[in-house]
Amino acid sequence: MITIALSKGRIFEETTPLLAAAGIVALENPESSRKLILPTNCDDVRLIIVRATDVPTYVQHGAADIGIAGKDVLDEHGGAGLYQPLDLNIARCKMMVAVREGFDYQGSIRRGARLKVVTKYVKTAREHFAAKGMHVDLIKLYGSMELGPLVGLADAIVDLVSTGGTLRANHLQAVEEISAISSRLVVNQAAFKLKRERLQSIMDAFARAVNAG
Ligand code: PRT
Ligand code: MG
């Protein structure tokens, strides 16, 4: 049996064509089903539906053989116990620093001000500001980071941006790009040895579909 860990929402949607290229079709839709284990048309493949941030954990511990996770999530996790053989080029966005419209970010840096930053991506943010030689106070949030600068919790946020619509709606502006983000295939290292043939056929089909798209 091959177990594939996925999150619902954009990753499931953008992975569906890749799975189809490998001949794998979920028999239920995770958006409407309450099941967390979804059978597929292949007797030897099942999908498990987990939180996006939990995908690396399931694969690391071998509860799933492979999974699909954003580079944002993998950077925070650290990648221990995982192969990351393939960039699937899906769920693309950018990790950015953003501030309130009119806030002088560059000026604050020049003055050596100590900025307060809210983020869900504490490791990424810490490494980014350390590399710039900036001293910041990081405050961990679990969502709605955009609110932080509006209510005086922070001067800046570190978050993902795709269309920019969320920033605009909250009168924030991006001031710095930290990295380009896309989703990666992750593989449990032990499973890759024990189930090599079947996993390789799925990986090859994914790679062909990514290169064709
Ligand atoms: O939503 P939930 O709390 O369950 O978990 P999640 O947010 O971790 O999962 P999900 O499904 O929203 O995101 C899964 C993966 O998609 C992330 O790990 C990223 O790699 C990738 N991705 C791509 C994004 C976005 N684009 C994105 N725009 N993840 C989140 N966003 C959010 C962003 O955090 C911000 O709140 O969308 C908002 C900004 O979008 P725009 O279009 O307004 O700029
Ligand atoms: Mg989300």
CATH, domain range 2-91+182-212: 3.40.190.10
- CATH number 3.40.190.10 is the correct assignment for the domain at 93-179: yes
Choice from 123, 161, 183 to test ligand 1 binding pocket (greatest atom count within 8 A of CB): 161
- pLDDT of the chain, 213 residues: tens digit per residue: 999 999 999 999 999 999 999 999 999 999 999 999 999 999 999 999 999 999 999 999 999 999 999 999 999 999 999 999 999 999 999 999 999 999 999 999 999 999 999 999 999 999 999 999 999 999 999 999 999 999 999 999 999 999 999 999 999 999 999 999 999 999 999 999 999 999 999 999 999 999 998
Closest C-alpha residue for ligand 1 atom 7: 52
Tokens of 129: 């500001």
The pTM of the full predicted model, rounded to 2 decimals, is 0.96
**Residue 57: CB atoms within 10 Å:** 18
The interface predicted TM-score of the complex, written ipTM, equals 0.96
2-91+182-212 and 93-179 agree in CATH topology: yes
Tell me the domain boundaries of the chain. Answer: 2-91+182-212, 93-179
Closest by CA to 14, choosing from 178, 162, 173, is 162
Helix (H, G, I), strand (E, B) or coil at 178: strand
Q: Which of the ligands is closest to the CA of residue 143? A: 1
